[in-house]
Structure 1
Amino acid sequence: MDELKQKHRALWALGDYPAVAADLIPSLGPVLVEACRIRPGQRVLDVAAGTGNVAIPAALTGADVVASDLTPSLLAAGEKLAAERGATLDWREADAEDLPFESDAFDVVVSCVGVMFAPHHRAAADELVRVARPGGTIGLISWTPEGFIGQLFATLKPFVPPPPPGVSPAPLWGSPSHVAELFGDRVTDLTAERRTVRVDAFATGASFREYFTTVYGPTIVALRGTDRPDELRRALDELGDRWLTGGAMEWEYLLSTATVC
């Protein structure tokens, strides 16, 4: 287990994920802040926070925010961004499947395309519920299996080793039935809404591939590890070209919110 977590930590430290968060999906954090109705004085935990796409705008509302992540380099980048934006919050290294926080400690627990990448979905869901107080809110944004990032992982799958037993595909968190099954009767008022974020950073599939094989850890790992690099590059070019319409892509995600029992 320690080896698996070390691999995950190293994967997200590769490339330049802070650039991905800032260049492509900066709007998702405020979406989640609004959906969870985060307000001054609330105690908020951002799980797998990365560089703070949710944590920083949440802190700017006046909430008391803790940003947690497995990868120290992402936390360091987030701390710098927070200082630049005048946001004050705590940054904590933490495993989403074993959070170092007391039970019932937070009014709101959020994660934006973060906790979905914890390898064991049940363990991660259990922790989200445990640290949220009864009556508190859980809010998640997750890439869907059918959307662009879900299809990116489907494209990478033939080029990477199979995951260890018990590890679930990350985009399952973008399936409403999967989220409902993970939380079960421990939450009420569970909502799941499919939305899209517009990404206009790429003119061609090749430019998408060049960017993602430079800055995005999972794509970098796949390209480095395969003995068919040219085939993978072609597959990524084709994926990007299929999804480009009028010089932009629409990336689908699932916005889920629930009240903890």
Structure 2
Amino acid sequence: MARSAKGGTGNRVTITRALSKLGYCSRTQAERLLAEGRISVAGKPVTDFDTWVDIRSDRIEVDGRAVAAEEKVYVMLNKPRGLVTTRDDPEGRETVFSRLEGTGFGFLSPVGRLDKASEGLLLFTNDTVFAQRLLDPATHVPKVYHVQVGGHLDDRQARQLETGVLVEGETWRAASVRVIRQGEKNTWLKVTLEEGRNRQIRRMLEAIGVECLRLVRVAIGEIELGDLPKGDVRRLTTDEIAILRKATGF
């Protein structure tokens, strides 16, 4: 039975959160459905945003059709530069979801973000618990980036990124930094993070006076981008899903 009181087990969530957890739609889309009177619980229409349901036992319907948990889907995208990691962009910019159109994967959400100027490995899933575990800093799942910077980065600067850089009054660190190769005008670095701060690498480099020219995420844990063409998506293999689950203790 739907209730408006909070509490209970992890299966009890708000109606909008329930539709998201079940992989039916985003919470924003669920709010629209609710406002339009298209959702019912146990055969009774609901319009209260504070309605709580048990996703395991309550019958939730949209337009008279029962909503069941979707098959869990896990995919990776090789994100091109210039796409924003959002479902709808008020500025009309192309989003990462344009690369999922026509795939038949259903409703998916990105696991974390890559900013517009960044490229590389971006995961999507409808498994919200899995996504939360993967993003939790306590699980220490490393993210690996190849970063091109202007000029030559010396050993002192590389060590500084590891020991700590002051950004807006806080000390931010990279788990490891090493030089991959150097040219006459730029340097490629391999940077590993175990945190998930907004634009962390770019802001750390800026703090030590180094220009970030290009940033490509190449791995999350043991899952590598590999030779997936830019802009393409593919399902994670059963082994890859198991590796990430083991890494998160899920």
TM-score by length of 2: 0.28
TM-score by length of 1: 0.27
Higher helix share: 1
